[in-house]
């Protein structure tokens, strides 16, 4: 994904977090779909409860995990692309 630095993303309101056993998933009623989230994906989704740029989410994850920014950027880019594809987030 080529990220536009100024683009802000926010949850679309279509997804609802659900516990599925020990996992957390986002249920999208209009799609009858359940998307199971790993810990990183959940943090990214939660960070977008309010409008946020991808670089802000990257910095949040770096601060929380201590991971290298380059690795986190790839995770955020891939996750944002999937969230956009499945309508879980939208441009704010």
Helix, strand or coil, per DSSP, at residue 27: strand
pLDDT tens track for 40-69: 999 999 999 999 999 999 999 999 999 999
Structural domain contains residue 59: yes
Structural domain contains residue 3: no
Domain CATH number, residue 25 = 3.90.930.60
Task: Give residue 2's pLDDT.
Answer: 47
Q: Which residue in this structure is represented by tokens 């790993």?
A: 38
Structural domain contains residue 1: no
Q: What domain range is 75 assigned to?
A: 8-91
Structural domain contains residue 2: no
Confidence of residue 4 (pLDDT cuts 50, 70, 90): low
Q: Could you give the CA distance from residue 79 to residue 83 in angstroms, rounded to a whole number?
A: 6
Structural domain contains residue 71: yes
pTM, to two decimals? 0.89
Number of structural domains (the chain) is: 1
Structural domain contains residue 19: yes
């Amino acid at each position: 994904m080529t990220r536009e630095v100024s683009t802000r993303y926010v949850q679309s309101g279509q997804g609802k977090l659900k516990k599925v056993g020990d996992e957390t998933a986002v249920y999208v009623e209009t799609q009858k779909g359940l998307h199971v989230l790993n810990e990183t994906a959940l943090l990214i989704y939660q960070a977008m409860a309010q409008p946020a740029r991808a670089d802000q989410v990257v910095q949040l994850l770096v601060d929380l995990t201590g991971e290298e920014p380059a690795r986190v950027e790839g995770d955020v880019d891939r996750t944002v692309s999937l969230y956009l594809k499945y309508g879980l987030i939208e441009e704010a």
